[in-house]
Amino acid sequence: MPTCENCGSFVTAEYVRVFAPNGMEHPRVCPNCEDKVRDGADVREARATRH
């Protein structure tokens, strides 16, 4: 079962296929992460909280 490397939340295989770099089985960050966001091909600290 794929999980986010940052927060450990479950993610779907489709999410991994679209948002994780090729060859990775787990994304580095997901929509459930409150402290990090995707920024192009990189991951950065979130500028604001997401709630």
Which pLDDT does position 50 carry in this prediction?
Answer: 64
- Residue indicated by tokens 């997401």: 50
Residues forming beta bridges with residue 27, ordered by sequence position: none
Q: Is 3 helix (H, G, I), strand (E, B) or coil?
A: strand
DSSP states along 6-37: TT--B--HHHHHHHSPTT-SS-S--TT-SSEE
Domain ranges of the chain: 13-45
Q: pTM, whole model, 2 decimals?
A: 0.73
Q: For residue range 12-48, what is the model confidence (pLDDT) as tens digits?
A: 999 999 988 888 889 989 888 888 888 888 888 888 7
CB-based contact 28:6 (threshold 8 Å): yes
CB-based contact 35:43 (threshold 8 Å): no
